[in-house]
Amino acid sequence: MSAKQMSGLVLIVIVAGGLIAFLAFNRPRVRPFLQTLKQQAGKAAPDVSARAGGGAYASSDRFLSDARIGKPSETLRAAMADLSPDETILFVGALNDPAFVRDFLTVSYLSWPRQIAVIGCDKSGRPPHVLYRPRDGVKIKRAMFFVQRPPEAMAKAAQAIGPNIRLIEASENTDWTSYCSP
């Protein structure tokens, strides 16, 4: 070991020892600080483990916590069970929602082997953003509005799966952008 490496190692040991000694002698002052850090971390990233029941869909149930329904993975799989593997589902969500990508990827996982098409609606007035189109010749059978309200013209025919999920039968003549209109 070279002299430079040895002096670096000695410096690390001294700093670590000093930190341990500081924490040992200042425990009454450090504990409230650490508790405050823990509380703030809980606010920034709330513990969602209590909402997930475990089992085969524990991860996807956590990811779909925005759905606000019991057993969201099983519920969505059951809602898509009557579609054949060659039919496509259109996922419609709020593009500015931080969970948008996570939600459509999770729904895509649960919808397998069915293909999923994805459109993000932007409330700022910009046109909708099409992320994934179905393969040529594949028809969209159903549209799923996830934490995104369907347009008023479609809302009457929407089947509620929970407070934040609505399904509608897709029409062949419907323009994609109309799924995002008010």
Does the pLDDT of residue 33 top 80, yes or no? no
Angle, in degrees to the nearest 10, between helices 72-80 and 100-111: 60
Render pLDDT for 163-177 as a digit per residue (tens, 0 to 9): 888 888 877 666 666
Checking if the pLDDT of 79 tops 50, the result is yes
Regarding pTM above 0.85, the answer is no
Distance (Å, rounded) from C-alpha 154 to C-alpha 179? Answer: 8
Which of 2-11, 107-116, 129-138, 173-182 is the least confident region?
A: 173-182
* Angle at 150 (CA atoms; ends 120, 164), nearest 5 degrees: 85
Pick from 75, 72, 80: which is nearest to 52 by CA?
A: 72
Q: How far apart are CA 64 and CA 53, in angstroms?
A: 13
Output phi, psi for 164, to 5 deg.
-120, 10
